[in-house]
Amino acid sequence: MIENVIDVLIIIIMFSTFGFLHSFLASNKVKKYLTDRLGNLIAFYRFFYVVTSLLLFYFIYGYAPDGHIIVYDLKPPFDLIILIPQFLGLAGLLWSIKYFYVKEFLGVNQIIRWQNNQYDTNELDEHLTLRIAGPYKYCRHPVYLFSIVFLIFRSEMDLNYLTFLICITAYFYVGSFFEENKLVERFGAEYIHYQQTVPRIFPLKLGLYKKRK
C-alpha cells in the first residue's frame, strides 16, 4: 500500500515539474528576455521548445512507475466497445489540427522566415493567429478536449495511469489560463469576446453561451 502511495506521489511530482517547466518556458516573459539577448535567433526557440518538451515528456512517461493496482479491466465485448469513443477522440484531434497552422506550431515556419530575412522579433517565437472555425466554435481548446477523450477511454485502467490522466487533465486546464493570457495580450477585446461566448475546454451550457452573442 505504501509503495503504491509513493508511486502516485512520484508521478504527481514528475508531471508537476514538467507542467511548471513547460508553462514557464512558454511564457512571454522568458521569450522577451531571450529576444533581447538573441535578437532574431529567437526564431529557433519554438522548434527547440517543442523538441525538448517532447523529449522531457517521453522521459517522464517512460520512467514513471508502472501500475500495480488495476482499477478496472473490461472484458469482451466492452473492451472493443470502449474503442469507439477513443477513436472519436482521435478523429476530433485530427479535426482540430486541421484548423491551426502545424508548421507554425512546430517552429518550422519561423526558421524559414529567418532564412529569408523576414523574421519579425516582435512576434517573439510565434506568429499568433485567431481562427475561430471548426471545433473552435464549440470550445476554445478542442485539442485538449479530444486528447482527454482519447486518453480516458481504454479497456484497462491501472492506478498509475489514472494518476497520469488526472495530472495531464489538470495541466490542460491550468495551462489554458496561461495560454489565454497571451492571447488576450495579443488580440485584446476580440479574444475576450471569444472567451465570453465559447466554453474553455468542455462544450457545456451551449445554449447559455449562444444567448450571450
Q: Which residues pair with 157 in a beta bridge?
A: 72
Domain span at 41: 2-212
Cα dihedral angle (83, 174, 141, 64), rounded to 10 degrees?
-30
Instruction: Scan for cell 521569450, then name that residue.
Output: 31
* pLDDT tens for each residue of 127-163: 888 889 999 999 999 999 999 999 999 999 999 999 9
Q: Is the pLDDT of residue 207 over 60?
A: no
For residue 10, the model assigns a pLDDT of 92
* pLDDT tens for each residue of 107-132: 999 999 999 999 999 888 888 888 89
Average pLDDT along the chain: 90
Number of compact structural domains in the chain: 1
Q: Is the pLDDT of residue 213 over 60?
A: no
* 76-102: average pLDDT: 93
For residue 205, the model assigns a pLDDT of 62
